[in-house]
Structure 1
Amino acid sequence: MLPLFLAAFLVSSVAAADCTYSGGDVSARWQVSGDKLTVEFINKKIGNNQWTGIGFGPNMNSSVLFASGEHMILHTQNQYLTVY
Structure 2
Amino acid sequence: MNQKTKWMMLLFLAILLFIGALSLNSMPMYFLVMFLSFFIYKNGNAVLFKEYDERKKQKYEEYKVVQQAAKETIRTGKLLKKKEL
Normalising to structure 1: TM-score of the pair? Answer: 0.28
Larger radius of gyration: 2
Q: Relative contact order: is structure 1 or structure 2 higher (C-alpha 8 Å, sep ≥ 6)?
A: 2
| Bigger share in helix | 2
